[in-house]
Amino acid sequence: MQVNQQEIDAVEAKLNGQHGLKAALAVAFWSVPILVLWYWLYLYDDRFAPIMLALSGAAIGIVVRFYGRGYQLSFAVMAFMAHLAVVVAAFMFGLSLGEGQSVRAFILVGLYGVGAWSAAYIGRLSIPFEQHRAFYVLTEEAPHDSSRRLRNRWFITTPLALAGCCLTLTVSLFALTGFEIFRATQSHHESRMAEREAFEARAIEVTSAHLDTLPTDEAMRHAFAFFAGQLPNKSGNRYTHYPKSDYKAKRVLSYLSEERGNVRAKFILGRLTYNENGLSLIQQAADEGDIYAKIHVASEFGCYGEPDKAKQLLNMLAKTTIDKSALDEIYSVLSVGFEQVCAEYRIPDFAQMYIR
């Protein structure tokens, strides 16, 4: 077969330029950015996930083609195996399908087939038609020297590429897992912060200007909610979680007692500040006619060694009040005993019955 020497030299240079070892190392390295790109596209829009089965094959083929400059079948096999490793890694990390997507198996197989074919086809260079004769002379009649070099031996380059991809992709999966954990933690933290902000937004402002706009019973419900952490509805049989704040509870009660002259608020404020000279507020509320304040003042005699007088006063109150909750409170004090009741008085308390 007559072949122009110039063509022989051109093909010879191309064959000598093959570098399977470089392609193996390059594909092991570049498989990481390809997997990261797959992951990034998945986060950006998970509909890209199945498409990457094909696109990743083309990317792998380009890497092998650029760094290997190979014409041997081993370069196509190398690209095919590297693409398979990337696909397996993506499946292991759950990048094959988008969230909630349902794709038929034959479509996934088809996309993978396109990717595998692209990797193999692009990864191996082809000789231009006009150089076919020279290529035949140099490779078909006898193996070319370039195919005997260790850097182009398939049993070295292909396993090296596959092992390198497995190693780098494993490290990448660990890194992506760590990043996913970080994202989940960050998302959970942001969610908790948003929930907390929404929760805090339930609380009313305790400025006088805002409290002026609220009916007394509404303000009392919010004062109770600040103390108990639960906001009762108007009927008192359902509750909503509410931000706790002893300061704001006292602020609302102080406003109601000072600005509106509400004796019940004055009594409750006295209970909350009992250990801070709150007894004087309770006495004032009792003098102004609050039944719970009167019960408290009567019980105080039992706390200071006069149980008979305390019982006498409580029994008198029981005969003169028609408030069922107040009657229950009187009978509770009489049945429990003053020692326990007096100990409870030292603990700030805001019973819901005070606002019913």
Give the whole-angstrom CA distance, residue 331 versus residue 315: 9
pLDDT at 28: 94
pLDDT at 34: 94
Q: How many beta carbons lie within 10 A of that of residue 27, not counting itself?
A: 33
DSSP 113-132: HHHHHHHHHHHS----GGGH
Give the whole-angstrom CA distance, residue 24 versus residue 283: 90
**Pure H helices in 201-262:** 208-211, 216-228, 246-259
CA 276 to chain centre: 44
Give the whole-angstrom CA distance, residue 29 versus residue 34: 9
Give the whole-angstrom CA distance, residue 95 versus residue 75: 27
Judged by DSSP in three states, 240 sits in strand
What letter represents residue 197's amino acid? Answer: E
Decide: residue 256, CB within 10 A, 0-12 exposed, 13-18 middle, 19+ buried: buried
The domain spans of the chain are 5-197, 208-355
pLDDT at 235: 81
CA 356 to chain centre: 41
Task: Answer whether 326's CB lies under 8 Å from 315's CB.
Answer: no
Question: Residue length, the chain?
Answer: 356
Give me the CATH code for the 208-355 domain, please.
1.25.40
The residues facing 232 across adjacent strands are 239
Task: Answer whether 334's CB lies under 8 Å from 311's CB.
Answer: yes
pLDDT at 211: 93
Q: What is the per-residue pLDDT across 287-337, written as a single tens digit (0 to 9) for each?
A: 999 999 999 999 989 888 888 898 999 999 988 888 888 999 999 988 988
Judged by DSSP in three states, 230 sits in strand
Decide: residue 37, CB within 10 A, 0-12 exposed, 13-18 middle, 19+ buried: middle
Return the residue matching tokens 């999966």: 173
pLDDT at 275: 82
pLDDT at 93: 86
Low-confidence ranges of the chain (pLDDT < 70): 1-16, 96-103, 128-148
**Residues 6+ positions from 303 with CB-CB distance below 8 Å:** 338, 341, 342, 345
pLDDT at 139: 61
Q: Is the pTM of this model over 0.75?
A: no
pLDDT at 121: 94
